[in-house]
Structure 1
């Protein structure tokens, strides 16, 4: 199992955990990737947080949605709804993003079902996030929980797969490269 630590600012604020504390915990758990997600802040605050994480952590740093900050991290992760804000056609949105997120940077997108995984196979992305595996407190409006189906759907991907949504450190998958864990690191 490889750990992809999801650092959600809302979760940190709710639990009273500093960014520094989260990074320390992620490093102790040997996280290969930290993704910083903040759905409520302005771009300058997100930039400050990325700079701070980079000072504390030398692994891969991914920003959620804020592709305009790609110079401050190693990649960007974008969900389906946020891709539709770029272009209603997801494959076009990914192509547009690739003009900003160069080939030497990581581009990941969220997927939630077999159809989205198969569509992602045709796109120039480095990995997909697949889920939700379980219900989770950090994501709003989860349409469906994949549960045991996640691993079978992951087997359809030609890209690396990161299991997302309620994943725990001790979960076992055969076709998943990364366990994306946020609040589960803080228990």
Structure 2
């Protein structure tokens, strides 16, 4: 299992966990990637946190949505809704995003079903996040839990797949490159 640690600022705050404590947990579990997500913070705060993570973590650092801060990390992860905020034509949105972040940066996209995976196969991405695998308390808008179907769908992706949504450290998949664990690291 390869670990992709999701560091959600709201989750840290609600659990009374510091960023440094999360980074230590990620290191203990040998995380290769940390994605920093702060849906309710301003750009200056997100920048400060990315700089702190970069100084204290040797793996890849990905920012969620805030592509204007890509110079402070290794790449960007974007969700379907945020992609459409760039352009209603999702293929054009990815092209625009790729121009902004350049080809030397990592670009990941959340997917939830076969249609979105097949669309992603036609995009200049490095990986997809696929899920949700289980119900999760950190995302209130999970409309469809994939369960075991996630691994079957992952086989349809030409990109590396990161399993998202309620994934645990002990879950096993055949077609998934990364387990994305957020609040599960705190338990």
Q: For structure 2, which runs of at least 5 residues remain unmatched after alignment? A: none
User: For the aligned residues, what is the CA RMSD?
Assistant: 0.5
Offset, 1:58: 1.3
Q: Count the aligned residue pairs.
A: 187
Q: For structure 1, which runs of at least 5 residues remain unmatched after alignment? A: none
Who is 1:19 aligned against? 19
Q: What does the per-residue CA deviation read over 1:59-113, in whole Å, with 9 as the maximum and x for residues that have no partner?
A: 1000000000000000000000000100111111111100011111100000000
Q: Distance in 2 between matches of 1:101 and 1:127?
A: 15
After TM superposition, the structure 1 stretch with the greater mean CA deviation from structure 2, 88-97 or 115-124, is 88-97
Q: How do residues 108-187 of structure 1 correspond to structure 2 at under 5 angstroms?
A: 108-187=108-187
Q: What does the per-residue CA deviation read over 1:138-174, in whole Å, with 9 as the maximum and x for residues that have no partner?
A: 1121110000100000000000000000000000100
Q: Distance in 2 between matches of 1:140 and 1:97?
A: 26
Q: 4+ runs of 1 displaced by more than 4 Å?
A: none
The reply to whether residue 84 of structure 1 matches residue 84 of structure 2 is: yes
TM-score (norm 2): 0.99
